[in-house]
Structure 1
Amino acid sequence: MDKAGQVALIADDDEYFRLALQTILINRLGFSSVVQAASLDEAVEHLSQKPSKSLAIFDHRIPGIKSAACLTAVRDCFPNLRLAVVSTSHRKQDILAALDAGVHGYVPKTISPTQLIEALRLIMDGLIYVPPSVSAITPASDGVQVLKAVPAKRPPIETLTPRQREVLELLMQGKSNKEIARTLSLGEGTVKVHMAALFRVFGARSRAAVAAAGSQLLSD
């Protein structure tokens, strides 16, 4: 794929990594510019304001991401975006949860720059990148938190991020996306992504169903 004129997003709370990856994307992969974000909210704001971005690279441990539903919501709201996770984690649960969420590739930060470039090139060319060593990965040890798959019914409140809980509580008050955005000082696009995540977390198909499930969850 010709990447001339294309814009990429890097969402990672490590500023040094963002700067290094930005150099690779511009100098080696031909992107015209790169936007940086340090949290999910910030990343979604950038995506919503300028939806022309063609590639988004997320570290799944940035503030605001607590479950695979967040990544799936980004995919749902920006269907033309190529989405990759670049992470220090080699745990099988993390990799499979991210891929199940619909990302187009999971790239370990420990690979060489040459391998990273090739992995991102494959992702931009429409393929799904999976680490070659995935079949040899051992499960995470007990007690280690990993990126959780979306639970089927009534997830514990701990699976919601603080922002998702705020959005849920305002939804339960009958507020529209525009009112929620105004109350939380967010863009409507950001609220839309959090709403999509809540729909997936609760397995709901309507705002009323999400509100009802949230009411039951918060009352327990």
Structure 2
Amino acid sequence: MTTVLIVDDQSLQRLGFSMLLEQHPDLTVVGEATHGAEAIRKTAELRPDVVLMDIRMPGMDGIEATRRIVRSGGRSHVLVLTTFDLDEHAYAALRAGASGFLLKDALPDELVAGIRAVAAGDAVIAPGLTRKLLDTFGDRFPGRTPDQEEMLSSLTQREGEVLKAIASGWSNLEIAERLSLAESTVKTHVSRILAKIGARDRVQAVIFAYDTGLVRPA
């Protein structure tokens, strides 16, 4: 059973999401929130698998709420809803730690699949689109911190190559073909990379690669 917290300031929007999700036996809505501060409080209280987060809300917006939920170190993953795929708000949400985003006009099946994927620990956004977002909006990267430097140094040469490939938007199959590796070996490398750099998913790995200067904006 995957538990979901719905965060949106529009009551009809929350009702629609709730009715849709409750049609699926493996999904259950455990609560609703109307703004960011309430989302943080209810996430801590209910510990949902997935927080379905609107961005534009009165008071604390979805980006700041996402940042605080992720920093709390809890089990909940955030799936953000946005209007445009190349939207500065979508970029900011990913930087805040969201596991991905969906467009507000996504089909019902896409929304359900996205929630399931995020609950399983996957990212709901193609690495290639992540890179495009970073190239478009990421014109000021903070540079490496001492902690990030230590994380980078913990990677083997091959893991560094795989991380660069992830940041370039390559799939596991493409990485395997271009680096002459078995796809199962690539999956093992990816898992180890995520663990070493403290990233929840491939999206956060791409952001880490940009932040540390391993990859530069186009």
- The two structures have a TM-score, normalised by structure 2, of 0.53
Q: Structure 1 residues 118 and 149 mapped into 2: Cα distance closer, same or farther (>3 Å)?
A: farther
Match for residue 112 of structure 1 among 103, 107, 115: 107
Match for residue 100 of structure 1 among 95, 99, 104: 95
Alignment-derived partner of residue 18 in structure 1: 14
Higher relative contact order (CA 8 A, sep 6+): 1
Q: Structure 1 residues 78 and 12 mapped into 2: Cα distance closer, same or farther (>3 Å)?
A: farther
For the 8 Å contact 1:11–1:62, the answer to whether it is kept is no
Match for residue 48 of structure 2 among 53, 62, 78: 53
Per-residue Cα deviation, 1:91-148 (whole angstroms, up to 9, x for no partner): 33222221121111111011211222222221112101116994788x99xxxxx9x9
Q: Structure 1 residues 21 and 73 mapped into 2: Cα distance closer, same or farther (>3 Å)?
A: same
For the 8 Å contact 2:82–2:89, the answer to whether it is kept is no
Q: Structure 1 residues 71 and 149 mapped into 2: Cα distance closer, same or farther (>3 Å)?
A: farther
Match for residue 30 of structure 1 among 23, 26, 50: 26
Q: Structure 1 residues 32 and 113 mapped into 2: Cα distance closer, same or farther (>3 Å)?
A: closer
Alignment-derived partner of residue 162 in structure 1: none
Name the SS of the counterpart of 1:27 in structure 2: coil
Per-residue Cα deviation, 1:150-197 (whole angstroms, up to 9, x for no partner): 997xxxxxxxxxxxxxxxxxxxxxxxxxxxxxxxxxxxxxxxxxxxxx
Runs of 5+ in structure 1 lacking a partner?
Answer: 141-145, 153-220
Name the SS of the counterpart of 1:35 in structure 2: strand
Alignment-derived partner of residue 161 in structure 1: none
Runs of 5+ in structure 2 lacking a partner?
Answer: 143-218
Aligned residues: CA RMSD: 3.3
Alignment-derived partner of residue 72 in structure 1: 67
For 1:149 and 1:72, locate their aligned partners in 2 and report how far apart those are by CA, in whole Å: 20
- Give the deviation of 1:149 after TM superposition: 10
Per-residue Cα deviation, 1:55-89 (whole angstroms, up to 9, x for no partner): 11111111233584442211111421011101224
For the 8 Å contact 2:53–2:62, the answer to whether it is kept is no
Q: Structure 1 residues 116 and 9 mapped into 2: Cα distance closer, same or farther (>3 Å)?
A: same
Q: Percent identity?
A: 21
For 1:74 and 1:149, locate their aligned partners in 2 and report how far apart those are by CA, in whole Å: 25
For 2:61 and 2:11, locate their aligned partners in 1 and report how far apart those are by CA, in whole Å: 20
Higher helix share: 2
For the 8 Å contact 1:29–1:117, the answer to whether it is kept is no
Aligned length: 140
Alignment-derived partner of residue 208 in structure 1: none
Amino acid at match of 2:120: D
Amino acid at match of 2:86: R
